[in-house]
Amino acid sequence: MTKIAGAIFPVPSNLIGRILDEKRDVFIKHPTLFKELKPGDKILFYASGEIRAIVGEATIKKIEFMTGKEALEKYGRRLFIDEKELRDYSKPLSARKGRGGAPREIKYLVLELENIRRYKKPYKPKRFITVGGKYLTESEYKNILSQVE
């Protein structure tokens, strides 16, 4: 059986520095099928947009599900996105495309991170990482580490 080591999540290239350089250590994402994630697993960051490569990683310290408002109240500037970006992210996709719609009060996947680090060189995966992200297997993780150090 394939052992899960964590997940790879896309982050817009213009925001990746907030995590890897400013060390904003709380990652928030729409709830997904990542039910197997647990503290100690790795999160690899895929810089989407012009970079299109895995550029760093962190270790999951804590996993929570909470609304955007709860996350802002608890973590504030530790979130990798600011309040306005979170409000925009909370809008239904139709509203983000200019067709109206109110923000939704959904529970997000909120990951408190530790051991955040940027890789010495980016890793270009063979396949595109979709907006939903993907699980990371132990063998994939070992392969990526061997190429980024």
Look at residue 143 and tell me if it is in a domain: no
Query: What is the tally of structural domains in the chain?
Result: 1
pLDDT at 94: 41
Look at residue 78 and tell me if it is in a domain: yes
pLDDT in tens, 32-66: 767 889 999 999 999 988 889 999 999 999 999 99
**Would you state the torsion angle of the CA atoms of residues 60, 65, 70, 76, taken in this order, to the nearest 10 degrees?**
20
Look at residue 63 and tell me if it is in a domain: yes
pLDDT in tens, 89-109: 766 544 444 444 444 568 889
Tokens (6 digits) for 51: 């970079």
Look at residue 144 and tell me if it is in a domain: no
pLDDT at 66: 92
Cα-to-chain-centroid distance, residue 96:
20
Look at residue 21 and tell me if it is in a domain: yes
Percent of the chain at pLDDT exceeding 70: 88
Look at residue 121 and tell me if it is in a domain: yes
- pLDDT-based confidence at 4, cuts 50/70/90? very high
Length of the chain: 149
Largest CA-CA distance found in the chain, in angstroms, rounded:
46
Residue 9 domain boundaries:
4-137
CA distances in angstroms from 62 to 49, 124, 142, listed in the order given: 28, 28, 23
CATH number at 99 reads 2.30.130.30
Rounded mean pLDDT, 1-21:
91
Using the predicted structure, report yes or no on whether residue 141 has a pLDDT greater than 90. yes
Look at residue 48 and tell me if it is in a domain: yes
Look at residue 148 and tell me if it is in a domain: no
